[in-house]
Structure formats: structure tokens, C-alpha cells
Structure 1
Amino acid sequence: MNKKWGYSTSGIPDKEFIRGNVPMTKEEIRAIVMGKLRLEEDSLLVDVGAGTGSVSIEAALRSQGGKVLAIECKEEAINLINKNKEAFGVENLIIHKGRAGEIIKTLSSFNRIFIGGSGGEMEDIIKDASIRLSAGGRIVITSVTIESTSCALNLLKEYSFEEIDLVTITVARGKNTGNYTLMEGQNPITILSATRGNLNEE
């Protein structure tokens, strides 16, 4: 078992991560994302817009015989990923600093990709993923706006991904107010997922 997270389940509590002013995929959404990724022991995952590294950490713990490539361009986020990597003791997490649209082009292949933030490069990222993602590989995207959801959905169709699925999740967390508990709603998140078909059939 990992020294910081001694369970086999997904959805590590947010408080376990070192955080700053960097976006993070929250624990409930992260648990669903992990399910949609369908990771295997030796999966090779590319985490685009890795932020604090919460998805990268969970994936690295789950696929200990594989690798996780975390792509991030912001210096503060890079520092946080490094700190969380050390805190969780994961050695199969490799950090790439730079723009995802450029870095993905340098990768030969991978079988999982998570897009938590595209930095305006959604089309380039999905296009390159359609080329480098192995047959049967999975792509998972989180979106907070209608526009980005529509863009991602259209691109998945354009680049011939299969089994396209969308689900919108709204989480409400209990908040104590004196003797009462109120449910405080979080922003809805849409999760898109799809499978890469057999490239030889195209």
C-alpha cells in the first residue's frame, strides 16, 4: 500500500493533496474520471493540464506497472505536482513542462489520455490523440462550459472516436452552519469519454 493512501479505491480526499492557486479535479469527479479511464496495471496515461497532479497521482498508484506523463505549463503547478509526487511516493510519474499541443507530438504512442485543461488547444490535442492513441485506448475529458463540451464532442465525432459518452455531475457537499447542515452545490462538471477504434479499419 502507498505510504499516504492506504486504500485501493479512487477518490483520494482533496485535503491529502498539497494545493495552491491551481485548479484541481475534485475527489468525487476524480473518482468518476478514474472509472471512465478504465486503467490497467500497465497503462500509459497522458494527463493534459495536470494542475496539482491529483489525477496523475491516482493513475500512477493504480497503474504501478505503467507510466503517467503529466503535462503542465505553469510553474506553480509544476512545483505542486513535484511536491505531491514526493508526498505520495510515486516513481512512475513523469512531468513534462510545456504546451500540450507541442509535447504530445513528441510522443510515439499511449493508451490513455485525460484532458483536464486544454489551454485553448483542444482541437490539436484531440487530433494528435486520434493518431497516437492505441486501438482500444481511452480518452476522457472534463468540461465546465457548454462551449467547451460542444467543441470536445464535435471533435471526438470528427476524429472517429467510438463509444462516445457524456455525463454531467453536480456535487453538493455538506456545510455546517451552527446546529444545521446545508448542502452547498459545486459547479456542474461534464465528463466526456470515448474509445479509439481499430486504426487499421480506417
Structure 2
Amino acid sequence: MNYNGFRYVFLENGATYDLDPSVLSQPLGTLNYNIQQDPKTYGSTDFAASFAVGGTVYQIDGYDPAFRLAVEWEGQYYIAQCVDTLDNTALELSTYFETAELKDRTEEVQICDHAGQSILSTLTGDDAEALISLLTQSISAELTNDQYQEIARAQRSGESYQLMFRLKDSTSYTMYVIPALSIVSAGDNRYLVPEEYAQDLKNVFSELPQTPLPMG
């Protein structure tokens, strides 16, 4: 879904949520069919999507629309989450976390294997807050082909971790970290952890080894 210069995806591939209508604003607009991703095709306040076309878009009370929006379609409610800008402007992770109020909304952070099938550790309280603060130091990165190949190798060798932020509203936010490469993946963007914070990041995952994926 496109809106106001941002691109959104529906949580859990379009899962429905039991939202109370009282937490929704007045309707913001209606989803139109998205033929192409060119932001010049639509006005800054137009909604364009390839799912739930005809659905009504709402702001969720307490949420910045630059992080999440709700869509009502055929009597069901869906949540759309911002993952990138439409004009390829860098989406700074620190600003995004602040917009999402992630530090205040998070009850715990589950560190999982890359596929999210095994929980390796759970962080709460100060530990969770410290990890969030560490991640916000990440800066936008333009990666080379060689670096993308390194990412693929790290994922196969068990060096990539999925972070599942369990939020107080019973939803979650997911991102990925490769401590060995100081790389963070959030939404459709890649970030690098500056050298002065790289070891701190590695320390969080140092005792959480994973089994490499079987070779095909």
C-alpha cells in the first residue's frame, strides 16, 4: 500500500485483527488499485494498493500514521506497516523507531533464528531497552554486490538473527541482524552499525550460536 510518500505492507501477509472501532479515526480515504509503484502517479494523500482494494483506511489512535494504519475491508480489519519511502529517500532507523515509539511499546524482544522458528533468548526491561538504543545507532547503507553475497552466506551459516519485538497491543514488529557483519535489516532497508558500536552488538549474540542451514 502507498500513502503520503511511504510504502506499507500488511502485517502477517494480510492477517485480520480484532480492532475496536473506537480506536480508529475518521476515515482517511479508500484504497485504489495500484497499477505501478511510481509515486508520481498518485497525489501525496492518495492510497494505492494491490490488496483489499476498496477498503477504508483509518488512523489508529496512539499510532503515528507514518508507522501504522488500519484498513477495514469487507467487515474485517487489517494493519498496514510502513517499510520504506516511495522516492528511495533513506528511511533513517532512529527516526523510524522514534515514530513507532518502539522503546515505549515493547514488552520484550525475542531473539530467534533467521527463520523465526526457534527462540534463542528473550530480553525484557533494561536489556530490551539497551538493544533498541544500540540498534538506533545504525546508519543507512548502500551495499555492494559483494556485501549482499556476504549476507546470503551469513544467513546460510547461521549468523543472521530475527528480532521479534512483542508490543503491548499484542502485535509484533520484526527485523533482522547479522552481528558478524554489523548489518541490520528493517523493512526494505539495510543499515550498518558504526564501528564504535559493533562489538556491543556482537556481545548481545555471542552466546547464541545457530546451526548452519543444510546445503542444498
| TM-score, L = length of structure 2 | 0.24
Greater share of residues in helix: 1
Q: Give 1 or 2 for the bigger CA radius of gyration.
A: 2
TM-score norm. by structure 1 comes to 0.25
